[in-house]
A and B are shown apart, each in its own frame.
Chain A
Amino acid sequence: MSHAWQYFTNNQSQILTWLRTTAWLAVVPLAVGLALSLPAGWVASRYRWSYPPIITVGGLLYTIPSIVLFLALPGIIGTKILDPLNVAVALTVYCVALLARVVADGLRAVDADILNAGSAMGYTGRQLLLSVQLPLAIPVIGAGLRVAAVSNVSLIAVASTLGVSQLGSLFTIGNTTGDTAPIWVGLVMFVLLALVLDGLILAGVRLMTPWRRAVGR
């Protein structure tokens, strides 16, 4: 392990650059994916007929191996093969595939009595959605977001097999040189990144749902 630490200090600036790229690849698709999933999930929850197709398409997209998507995107959107944008777009697709379903289920799971009480008090459909339904669905959406964040970080590593330069490159370097130090550094950096993201989302959910803290758990 001291060996790994030495490797880290020796290559610090390179590793930190990779970390920046990796963090960018982890966060931006997550944010964009969430922004796209909210309307998609709302449609699926609001119109019964649209739920099965949206969820099925999402499920199918989610089964596409990441390498496939990294490779297919240049052909579809015309980027260069090594463009990190391919990775970002692919991860966004996964995010939407996962989160659209989560948002739809989260919105549908809100107690019908609460919604009836809301409309009985004179909320319009949109007010009900924004000030009752969506806040109550935050815990479920947050749980989905955490899953998406962690699995995205893990997928980024795969992108290095195609030569996209980021933290995953530490693994390919270890593979070519037979040295475990860069591999250990890579694993630790990836796990830390995942944990930090996970923690941030968790904190955000807690901050936005004060009523859940009130009951102690």
Chain B
Amino acid sequence: MAAGGGALIIASAGSGLPSVGLVPRWLTTASHWTGRHGLLVSLREHVIYTVVAVLIAMIIAIPIGLVVGHTGKGSFAVAGFANAIRAVPAFGLMILLYVLVSPKIHFHGSIGWLVPRGAFASLVPVEAMLVVLAVPPILTNTYAGVRDTDPAVTDAARGMGMRPRQVVMRVELPIALPLMLAGIRSAVLQVIATATIAGFLPFLGGLGYQIFINGLPQINDPNVGYPAMLGAALVVAALAGVADLVLLGVERLIVSPGLARPTARTRLLRP
């Protein structure tokens, strides 16, 4: 299986010298982009893995963050949970889930264009791992955004006759939005970077496919292996950059101009 690739390199590493200079030519060769295992397909898969994971993480993290921030109950648990999760190595978690869960999944069909035939059993551990990765930043930032809302503002909201749900949805949520979006941005960047290791599991693609399946086994051929790995990696970095810009644009659109943009300072000063 894919892990065999690791052993293969150990045996042969060190002979071929990596050649950075070949990367631009590899990236500009049309045949590397098209076809069933081309970069475009990998890119699409990578985006799907990312979007699915971040959406699931948002569905989990945002309500919890709002409730905990609003009530103040469970804030200790949230901070502890988020820190504990950060200490778990994503790669180890993915392998554990793959070994434990995947054999028990007997669905081998495809789900539309989202999940190709046979990939579901591998996809579950990958998405689970990515969700685990994406929840902490979204959760802690949503919680912090709500918690940091000026108490005078929520007091006024209640005093004017808003019900608790209205206080959350009309006051705390919009005020927490900048911090929340910062959390989502950081989750997206982390997930894009980490989704690369999905390529380590069978039947899965993403840009990691180019690295682990196309690149790694041919690492000793300086004309193919290394340029493919680094080329795909640069596409990952570009994807991360584009995603960041898109999210910044979204932030500009939906955050009230009355709110100061959060700086890293405000995020870090209040641990």
Q: Do chains A and B touch in the complex (CB under 8 A)?
A: yes
Give A residues with C-beta under 8 Å from B: 55, 59-60, 62-68, 71-72, 74-76, 80-82, 101-102, 105-106, 108-109, 140, 143-144, 147, 150-151, 153-158, 160-163, 168, 170-172, 174-176, 178-180, 183-184, 186-187, 190-191, 194-195, 198
Please report the C-alpha to C-alpha distance between residue A179 and residue B98 in the assembled complex, in whole angstroms: 11
B98 contacts which of A62, A71, A154, A175 (Cβ < 8 Å)?
Answer: A175
B212 within 8 A of A: yes
Please report the C-alpha to C-alpha distance between residue A59 and residue B237 in the assembled complex, in whole angstroms: 11
B59 within 8 A of A: no
Decide if A171 touches B91 in the complex (CB within 8 Å): yes
Please report the C-alpha to C-alpha distance between residue A59 and residue B197 in the assembled complex, in whole angstroms: 21
Within 183-239 of B, Cβ neighbours of A (below 8 Å) are at 189, 192-194, 196-197, 200, 208, 211-212, 216, 219, 226, 229-230, 233-234, 236-237
Give min CB distance, B18 to chain A, whole Å: 4
Known contacts A65-B196, A75-B19, A175-B99; is-contact A154 B9 (Cβ 8 Å): no
17 contacts between A and B (CB under 8 A): A63-B241, A64-B233, A64-B236, A64-B237, A64-B240, A65-B236, A75-B230, A76-B20, A82-B10, A105-B264, A160-B91, A163-B10, A180-B100, A183-B95, A186-B89, A187-B89, A190-B89
Please report the C-alpha to C-alpha distance between residue A20 and residue B93 in the assembled complex, in whole angstroms: 22
Output the nearest chain A residue to B14 by Cβ-Cβ distance.
A80
Give min CB distance, A151 to chain B, whole Å: 7
Known contacts A65-B193, A143-B271, A191-B88; is-contact A172 B6 (Cβ 8 Å): yes
Give the chain A neighbours of B264 by CB distance below 8 A: 55, 101-102, 105
Interface centre among A76, A158, A168, A170 (most CB of B within 10 A): A158
B86 within 8 A of A: yes
Output the nearest chain B residue to A80 by Cβ-Cβ distance.
B14
B77 within 8 A of A: no
Give the chain A neighbours of B89 by CB distance below 8 A: 153-158, 168, 171, 186-187, 190
Please report the C-alpha to C-alpha distance between residue A151 and residue B194 in the assembled complex, in whole angstroms: 12
Please report the C-alpha to C-alpha distance between residue A195 and residue B96 in the assembled complex, in whole angstroms: 20
B160 within 8 A of A: no
Decide if B95 touches A67 in the complex (CB within 8 Å): no
Give the chain B neighbours of A76 by CB distance below 8 A: 20
B268 within 8 A of A: yes
Give the chain A neighbours of B241 by CB distance below 8 A: 60, 63
Known contacts A68-B237, A80-B13, A105-B268; is-contact A198 B87 (Cβ 8 Å): yes
Please report the C-alpha to C-alpha distance between residue A178 and residue B1 in the assembled complex, in whole angstroms: 11
Give B residues with C-beta under 8 Å from A: 1-4, 6-7, 9-10, 13-14, 18-20, 83-84, 86-93, 95-96, 98-100, 189, 192-194, 196-197, 200, 208, 211-212, 216, 219, 226, 229-230, 233-234, 236-237, 240-241, 244, 263-265, 268-269, 271
Decide if A75 touches B18 in the complex (CB within 8 Å): yes
Please report the C-alpha to C-alpha distance between residue A63 and residue B14 in the assembled complex, in whole angstroms: 28
Decide if B9 touches A163 in the complex (CB within 8 Å): yes
Give the chain B neighbours of A81 by CB distance below 8 A: 9, 13-14, 18, 219
Known contacts A154-B87, A157-B92, A162-B9; is-contact A172 B3 (Cβ 8 Å): yes
Please report the C-alpha to C-alpha distance between residue A194 and residue B85 in the assembled complex, in whole angstroms: 11
Please report the C-alpha to C-alpha distance between residue A156 and residue B90 in the assembled complex, in whole angstroms: 10
Give the chain B neighbours of A187 by CB distance below 8 A: 88-89, 92-93, 96
Give the chain B neighbours of A195 by CB distance below 8 A: 87
Decide if A174 touches B96 in the complex (CB within 8 Å): yes
Output the nearest chain B residue to A105 by Cβ-Cβ distance.
B265
Please report the C-alpha to C-alpha distance between residue A13 and residue B100 in the assembled complex, in whole angstroms: 27
Known contacts A63-B189, A153-B89, A183-B92; is-contact A162 B6 (Cβ 8 Å): yes
